[in-house]
Amino acid sequence: MHAKNSPEAIRVINASLAGQSEIGEEMETVEHQPNHLLLKIPNPEALQGGPDPVILMRLEAAIAKERKAYLGEMSKDVGRLIEALRRGARPGELWPIAHELRCMAGTYAYPFLSQVAQVLCALIKKHQTSSALPGEEAEVFAHALQRAKGHKGPMEPKEEAVIQGLRKIALQRSARSF
Amino acid sequence: MAIPNLSALGVLVADDSNQMRRLLTAMLNAIGIFNVETAPDGREAFERIKMRRPDILITDADMGQIGGMELVRSVRRNQDTTGPYLPIIMVTGHAEQSWVEDARDAGVNEFLAKPISAAALYGRVCEVILNPRPFVRSGEYIGPDRRRRDSRSYQGPKRRRDDASVTSFDDGEIQIQDKRS
C-alpha cells in the first residue's frame, strides 16, 4: 500500500493502466471462451459423475487387445536392450528402448519390467554422458530385464527386492559418477 | 448411467511411439471418438492441426524433431493458423515435477503420466470438455489459466489487468481490489 498521491502511488496507477503489475511484471489478460466442445455433445450430462461401467469395460477390452498385439514387440525390445547393454552401447542407444519399455510395459500390466526399465532410465538420465555403463552394472540390468520379461501382474517381495537392489546400484553410481 | 455421445469430436494423437499411437487410438475409439488422426512428431502434428483443426490434441512430451513442449508453444502462439484455444492433454513417461511445471508453463490443459490407465484417460478427456479453464495471455504466457485453486483468499500482488482495474483511495491508501472478492 502507498500513501495517497505519493509518487509511488501515481507510479502504481500508471503501471496498472498500462497493464503492468505492482511489481513491474506485465499483467495477464483473461479470456472466457464459449465451450465449443460441450456444444458438440448431444448428452453432456452423461459425462458427469465418472465413467459408465460399459465405457470402462470397452476401454479395458481395447487395452487388452493392444496388449496382446504388443507382447511380441515387447519381447523383441527386451532382447534388443539386453544385447545393447552387453555390447556396451552408449546411453543414447539405450534410452529410447528403455523409455519405451518403461511406458508400454507398465500400461500393459508388466510392472516389474516397467520398473526395471524405469531404474535404468533414471540411471541413464542422471549421467547424460557418452560413456557406456560399466560391464558389471550393465550385466546386472541385463539379467534383471531377462527375469522381468515374462513377469505379469503385481510384484511380489522377491521382485520388489530386485528393484531395491537396482536402485541401490543406481544410487551408488550416482555418487561415483561415470 | 448413460453413455456420452462423443462421436462429433475429432482428436489428434502425436506420439513417436507407434505402440502408443495405436493404444491411444484404440482407447479413444472405445469411448466413442472415431475421428482420430495420428502424427509421429511435433512437426507433422502442427501441420495436421493447421489443416484439420482437431477438437483435442493428445501429445507426447518427448518426441524427436519438434517435441511436445515445442508443439504446445507453437499452437498457443500461432493464433491465426492453429487456434490457440485447442485443448491439449500431454501424455508422458516423465512424471517428475519439473516436467509437469514445464508442461503447465508451455500451455498444456491436462497432464497424464504414463503408464496410462483407462480411467485416467477418460477423466482427462471429460475434464477438458466439462471444465475448460479461462484463457490467459501475458507477455510470457499464453494458455489455460494455471490457477486451478480458488484464490480468493490470496493477499499478494495481483498480476491481472482485470484484477487491478478497480482502484480507490479509501482511508488515504490506494486499494487495488480483486474483482472476484
pLDDT tens figures, A63-81:
989 988 888 889 999 999 9
CA distance B173 to chain A (A): 5
Give mean pLDDT, residues B121-148. Answer: 86
Rounded mean pLDDT of chain A? 83
DSSP-assigned letters across all residues of B78-134: -HHHH-TT--EEEEES--SHHHHHHHHHHT-SEEEESSP-HHHHHHHHHHHHH-PPP
Question: Residue A120: its chain B contacts at CB < 8 A?
Answer: none
- pLDDT value at position A22? 52
Nearest by CB: B174 against A9, A26, A28:
A9
Cell 484417460 belongs to residue = B121
Q: Grade residue B176 by pLDDT with cuts at 50, 70 and 90.
A: very low
Model confidence over B109-134: pLDDT tens digits?
999 887 788 899 999 999 999 988 88
- pLDDT value at position A174? 67
CA distance B78 to chain A (A): 17
Question: Residue A51: its chain B contacts at CB < 8 A?
Answer: 118-119, 122-123, 126
Does B96 contact A at CB distance below 8 Å? no
Most confident of A9-23, A106-120, B80-94: A106-120
* A35 against A13, higher pLDDT: A35
- pLDDT value at position A55? 92
Question: Residue A106: its chain B contacts at CB < 8 A?
Answer: 114-115
- pLDDT value at position A100? 87
- pLDDT value at position B33? 97
Q: If DSSP codes are grouped into helix, strand and coil, which group holds residue B64?
A: coil
Nearest by CB: B129 against A13, A47, A108:
A47
To 5 degrees, how large is the angle CA A55–CA A58–CA A60? 110
Question: Residue B134: its chain A contacts at CB < 8 A?
Answer: 30-33
Q: Grade residue A98 by pLDDT with cuts at 50, 70 and 90.
A: very high
**Structural domain spans, chain A:** 56-176
Q: Is the ipTM of this complex over 0.85?
A: no
Nearest by CB: B159 against A27, A31, A43:
A27
Residue B44: count other Cβ atoms within 10 Å of its Cβ.
18
Rounded mean pLDDT of chain B? 81
- pLDDT value at position B157? 54
Report whether A84 contacts B39 (CB < 8 A): no
Least confident interval from A111-125, A158-172, B48-62, B90-104: B90-104
Most confident of A126-130, B55-59, B89-93: B55-59
Do the Cβ atoms of B23 and A41 come within 8 Å? no
Do the Cβ atoms of A104 and B17 come within 8 Å? yes
Question: Residue B128: its chain A contacts at CB < 8 A?
Answer: 37
- Please tell me the distance from the alpha carbon of residue B136 to that of residue B57, in angstroms, as a whole number: 19
- Please tell me the distance from the alpha carbon of residue A13 to that of residue A5, in angstroms, as a whole number: 10
Does B149 contact A at CB distance below 8 Å? no
CATH architecture of B10-144: 3-Layer(aba) Sandwich (3.40)
Q: If DSSP codes are grouped into helix, strand and coil, which group holds residue A79?
A: helix
- Please tell me the distance from the alpha carbon of residue B29 to that of residue B23, in angstroms, as a whole number: 10
Q: Grade residue B153 by pLDDT with cuts at 50, 70 and 90.
A: low
CA distance A86 to chain B (A): 25
Residue B167 has pLDDT above 70, yes or no: no
Q: Name the E strands within A17-120.
A: 29-31
Give mean pLDDT, residues B61-83. Answer: 82
Q: At what angle do helices B97-106 and B68-77 cross, to 10 degrees?
A: 20
B75 to A52, B55, B71, B113: CA distances (angstroms): 33, 13, 6, 21
Q: Grade residue B67 by pLDDT with cuts at 50, 70 and 90.
A: confident
CATH architecture of A56-176: Up-down Bundle (1.20)
Residues of chain B with CATH 3.40.50.2300: 10-144
Do the Cβ atoms of A47 and B115 come within 8 Å? no
Report whether B134 contacts A31 (CB < 8 A): yes
